[in-house]
Amino acid sequence: MSFSLHGIRRAPRRVAVMSVHTSPLEQPGTGDAGGMNVYISETAQEMAARGVGVEVFTRATSSDQPPVAELAPGVLVRHIPAGPFEPLGRDELPAQLCAFTSGVLRTEAFHEPGYYDLIHSHYWLSGQVGWLARDRWGVPLVHTAHTLAKVKNAALADGDTPEPRTRVIGEEQVVEEADSLIANTAVEARQLIELYDADPREVHTVAPGVDLKRFTPGSKTAAREALGLPQDAVIMAFAGRIQPLKAPDVLLYAAAELLRQRPELASRLVVLIVGGPSGTGLEQPQALRELAVSLGIERQTWFMPPQPGQSLVNVYRAADVVAVPSYNESFGLVALEAQACGTPVVAAEVGGLPVAVVHGVSGLLVPSHAGPDWASALANVALRPDRHAELSTNAVTHARRFSWQRTTDALLDTYTQATSAFQRALEVAV
């Protein structure tokens, strides 16, 4: 291990990252791929650039996947066979944790003892694996929940399915066993302490970042041309997984209300939905399209699949406003990415979104999910040129406060503290 028993503090040489249910190689915006994938990918690459090796363990979902793939120099993704070579729902994955853990432990067994200095698990399923690997390898476990069942169940969308009791128990176990817990915001840190009895000394708040080289202001005209969108349109965009939790339907209800109030917008309004079905949204993959028809806004509603790279940048630049109407968000990377591109955001006043969006400065926060409230907020941003220009300028300034470099600095500092404390505990035990 890279930490001696004499109190020397230094960064780990190699980190094992657990991401059971989704791979950083997957395209965010559909299935189970989302902000967590971006978080793992970006921080892993930042760590590797600083000489810290990162190996990400994820479940193999296809027999065509190689056992090991290179995400970037210094970052390996290990595909662990566990169950059938196909995507599985999160409710099916707990039954595969034993097989997955076995694959992780076998991988480490091929190396000299102490090959990994630390484990960082993402989401509770990975935490269960990390807990067992921690005890076997004798290294600290750092855990990031990303979402919490007790919080989600307290703010369910209509018709959404509550998180099962098995997940709640699993999260409680991981919180109890982890050496350090990473929260995205102070709100999440408080939730871990108050709802899960986490030790306040083990909870560290580390804000996610944004790729400030990729997500930058640019030509709205060029972005719309690249995406085939009308130049004179008023574009209100949603980007993310299409599921009740993310609430893209709120944007449709708001658009319908806006057209009722301002029928003259019918020829110019574009509601841009970018993403694919996910989670309980897979049960009715056409539900959002059917809702647009029932609301009479099918002509104004444009659907696009998840967009990678520059195409996603173009989505943000093309929009007059980006809506993030989620019922729960631990942070909300979409909000940061959009603001970095100079596009104001209207977001739900939930979870970490009040950190990602400064109300009245870089965008607006809406305390409800009611269509009229959202129609008013969206119009206040998109249809007032002076207001829009002010928010746009402030949005860029606000987003620049966040970067993956800063996130990685804080993570490595947390790793250092966790390993130092772990070693002190070993010394006391000896």
- Residue 159 exposed, middle or buried by CB count within 10 Å (0-12, 13-18, 19+): exposed
Find where tokens 């696009």 sit: 304
Q: Which residues fall in the annotated binding site for UDP-N-acetyl-alpha-D-glucosamine?
A: 27-28, 35, 241, 246, 307, 329, 337
Q: Which residues fall in the annotated binding site?
A: 21, 27-28, 32-37, 90, 123, 147, 167, 241, 246, 307, 316-317, 319, 329, 337, 343
Q: Which residues fall in the annotated binding site for 1D-myo-inositol 3-phosphate?
A: 21, 32-37, 90, 123, 147, 167
Q: Do 72 and 44 touch, CB atoms closer than 8 A?
A: yes
CA 403 to each of CA 207, 211, 381, 408, 412: distance values in angstroms, whole numbers, following the listed order = 9, 6, 25, 9, 14
Question: Closest Cα to residue 1, out of 181, 182, 134, 178?
Answer: 134
Strand arrangement, sheet containing 141-144: 68-72, 75-80, 53-59, 14-18, 118-122, 141-144, 180-183, 203-205
Q: Do 29 and 40 touch, CB atoms closer than 8 A?
A: no
Q: How many residues does the chain have?
A: 430
Using DSSP bridges, classify how beta strands 118-122 and 141-144 pair: parallel, antiparallel or unpaired: parallel
What gap in Å lies between CA 421 and CA 427, rounded to an integer? 10
What gap in Å lies between CA 402 and CA 429, rounded to an integer? 40
Count the neighbouring beta carbons within 10 Å of the beta carbon of residue 305. 12
- Residue 114 exposed, middle or buried by CB count within 10 Å (0-12, 13-18, 19+): middle
Cα torsion for 351, 336, 161, 152, to the nearest 10°?
-20
What DSSP string describes 267-299? TTEEEEEE--B-GGGGGSTTHHHHHHHHTT-TT
Token duo for residue 104: 């992780």
Cα atoms in the Cβ-side hemisphere of radius 13 Å centred on 115: 15
Reduce the DSSP state of residue 239 to 3 states and report it.
strand
Q: Which residues fall in the annotated binding site for Mg(2+)?
A: 316-317, 319, 343
